Amino acid sequence: MKKLINNVDDVLTESLAGFGRAHADLVDISTDPKLVTRKGGGKKGKVALISGGGSGHEPMHAGFVGMGMLDAACPGEVFTSPTPDQMLAAAEAVDGGAGILWIVKNYAGDVMNFEMAGEMYDGPTETVLTNDDVAVESSLHSQGRRGVAATVIVEKIVGAAAERGDDLAACKALGDRVNAASGTMGIALTSCTVPAAGSPTFEIGESEMELGVGIHGEPGRKRVDLMKADEIAEALIQAICESIAPSGDDDLLLLVNGMGGTPLMELYLLYNSAMNVAGERGLKIARSLVGNYCTSLEMAGASITLTKLDTEMAELWDAPVHTAALRWKA
């Protein structure tokens, strides 16, 4: 295992400390329990947005704490849901009196831990559960679909709504709407290695790729021969369209997201392929984002997300944001 680390046990603490020091103007951090909160704490009268999940998906979520997005992020161990004590401490730190909105990716562990935190927290809370990954048919099992890259879009759009003063119910409803309007599917060319595990999560041949991979290196739809970028874009967009069924009139947000080990050059190339596929299908790409936002450690690969934006969602997407990983008009 080749990583820029000291000891396997300290990866998370040291990385978090580095994040806190690099962005001391934006966030405060705590290492016990592990927590990233917006500088200055809760904003009075504003719904507080708290997300979290296993680490290894950076910049998600800590990179999205700041003006116009999250109020706090709870980083779990690598690929492991955080614990309720983190969520409770986050809630106490950023509660502005208008309620807490948990933004949770749909994994059994995350759901249960946030659920326990919600039960323990003394104050109004709501949860937006993201489940945008169209790779796994929900009919196959009762766990439902996984939450992946569209979580970033939910956090941005709902973050802007909270910032302008929307109440808890409105934020929750908007988050559900954005999630329902989104579909994502990803592929992996290589595996990732959980530091503490020390060996790759899965084996994959030199001419294979995993179609529909999860953001923890979980298998997806199937193991296939390496595909060209154009074919990948076609396969992913096809699967997404089957789920969210966009029409030619919809304003779409296209996110081409890197898994961590794929360089920008390839992401822009895949974005170009995706734009071509969108064009052929008569889809209207109104907003775009290309980069590493919801990653899987050093895995090589990418995902494509499409979100059908209504006018309000588009406005909120465009609204100012100032976080470590997403910043505009501020």
Ligand X SMILES: Nc1ncnc2c1ncn2[C@@H]1O[C@H](COP(=O)(O)OP(=O)(O)O)[C@@H](O)[C@H]1O
Nearest alpha carbon to residue 56 among 191, 146, 155, 224: 191
Place of tokens 């994959």: 204
Residue 129 CA to residue 111 CA, distance in Å, equals 8
Beta partners for 187? 211, 302
Q: Which two tokens stand for residue 76?
A: 């779990």
Is 80 a binding residue for Mg ion by CB under 5 A? The answer is: yes
Alpha helices per DSSP H over 49-167:
84-94, 108-120, 150-164
**3-class SS of residue 213:** coil
Residue selected from 51, 83, 257, 262 as contacting a copy of itself according to rule CB under 8 A: 262
Residue 155 CA to residue 132 CA, distance in Å, equals 13
Q: Is 216 a catalytic residue?
A: yes
Nearest alpha carbon to residue 110 among 55, 37, 41: 55
In angstroms, what is the minimal distance from the CB of 150 to a copy of itself? Answer: 18
Stretch that binds a copy of itself, among 93-101, 134-142, 162-170, 291-299 (CB under 8 A): 291-299
Is 291 a binding residue for ligand X by CB under 6 A? The answer is: no
Is 83 a binding residue for Mg ion by CB under 5 A? The answer is: no
In angstroms, what is the minimal distance from the CB of 200 to another protein? Answer: 8
In angstroms, what is the minimal distance from the CB of 211 to ligand X? Answer: 22
Residue selected from 109, 200, 219, 291 as contacting ligand X according to rule CB under 6 A: 109
Is 300 a binding residue for a copy of itself by CB under 8 A? The answer is: yes
Beta partners for 188? 210, 301
Q: Out of 57, 61, 141, 322, which one is annotated catalytic?
A: 57
Is 108 a binding residue for ligand X by CB under 6 A? The answer is: yes
Sheet of 321-323: strand order equals: 66-67, 321-323, 327-328
Q: Is 61 a catalytic residue?
A: no
Residue selected from 55, 86, 125, 305 as contacting a copy of itself according to rule CB under 8 A: 55
Query: What's the Cα-to-Cα distance from 46 to each of 83, 163, 320, rounded to whole Å?
Result: 24, 7, 16
Residue count, binding to ligand X (CB under 6 A): 4
x/- contact string, 9-48, with a copy of itself (CB under 8 A)? --x--xxxxxx-xx--------------------------
Residue 302 CA to residue 92 CA, distance in Å, equals 36
In angstroms, what is the minimal distance from the CB of 99 to Mg ion? Answer: 28
Active site members: 57, 216
Which residues bind to Mg ion, rule: CB under 5 A?
Answer: 79-80
